[in-house]
Amino acid sequence: MQRRLSSISDCRVFFDFDNTLTPFDVLDDIVKRFSINKGWVSFEQAWKKGKIGSQACLEGQLRSVRVNRKDLVRYLSRIKIDPTFHKFFAMLKKEGLSPIILSDSFKFIIEEILKNNGIREVKVYANGLRFSGNRLAPFFPYRNQKCPRCAHCKKKNLLKKEVKDKIIMYVGDGLSDICPAECSDIVFAKGRLLRHFRDKKRLCVAFNSIEDIHNYFRGLGK
Give the separation between CA 132 and CA 120, rounded to whole angstroms. Answer: 26
pLDDT, position 8: 78
pLDDT, position 221: 52
Judged against a pLDDT cut of 90, whether residue 36 lies above it is answered with: yes
Q: Read off the pTM.
A: 0.92
The residues, ordered by sequence, that sit 6+ positions from 114 with a Cβ below 8 Å of its Cβ are: 81, 120, 122, 124
Q: CATH fold of 8-218, please?
A: Rossmann fold (3.40.50)
User: How many CB atoms are closer than 10 A to CB 198?
Assistant: 13
- Rounded mean pLDDT of 134-150? 94
Give the separation between CA 28 and CA 32, rounded to whole angstroms. Answer: 6
Domain boundaries, the chain: 8-218
| 169 bridge partner residues | 13, 186
Q: Which amino acid would we find at residue 41?
A: V
